[in-house]
Amino acid sequence: MLVVLQSLAQGRHRWSPAEMDAMWDASTIKLVLPGMSDAEDLEQLSRLAGEVRVKFSNRTTGEGISSETESSTLERIWLASQIRALPVGHALLFQRRLKPIEIVAKPYWERAKGWV
């Protein structure tokens, strides 16, 4: 099955929220295009994109003594605001076993003739 929607809200209007959630959850591939603006949907996509551990160090000096500590934190790979601001021609591809992939598509009018 292939479902193409401009927003998840459009799907919730066509089907019930539970039916739309079931289709969304069962989709093995999700392609997110620019223009989404629902904060909850964007936050869900941000969580779905996952997190990465970022390490950093901190050096403290004083009175002839210095110490350095290392720590790490988890940061979102894609923030909701970044997903919302995807440029035209870009998309995020979510596939069950892969990290999100940013796709940059060349507009059809800029492609060589004969290419579909």
Of 64 and 78, the structure prediction assigns the larger pLDDT to 78
Identify whether 116 is part of a domain: no
Q: How would residue 116 be classed by pLDDT, with cut points 50, 70 and 90?
A: low
Kindly state whether residue 15 falls inside one of the protein's structural domains.
yes
In a domain, residue 34? The reply is yes
Q: Which residue has the higher pLDDT, 111 or 79?
A: 79
- Within-domain flag for 35: yes
Domain that includes residue 82, residue range: 8-50+78-105
3-state SS track over the chain: CCCCCCCHHHHHHHCCHHHHHHHHHHCCEEEECCCCCCHHHHHHHHHHHCEEEEEEEEEEEECCEEEEEEEEEEEECCCHHHHHCCCCCEEEEEECCCCCEEEECCCHHHCCCCCC
Give per-residue pLDDT as tens, 15-65: 999 999 999 998 899 999 888 899 999 999 999 999 999 998 888 888 888
pLDDT of 92 reads 93
97 domain-assigned: yes
pLDDT of residue 111 exceeding 90, the answer is no
In a domain, 59, yes or no: no
Q: How many domains does the chain have?
A: 1
Inside any domain, residue 26: yes
- Within-domain flag for 91: yes
pTM of the model as a whole: 0.76
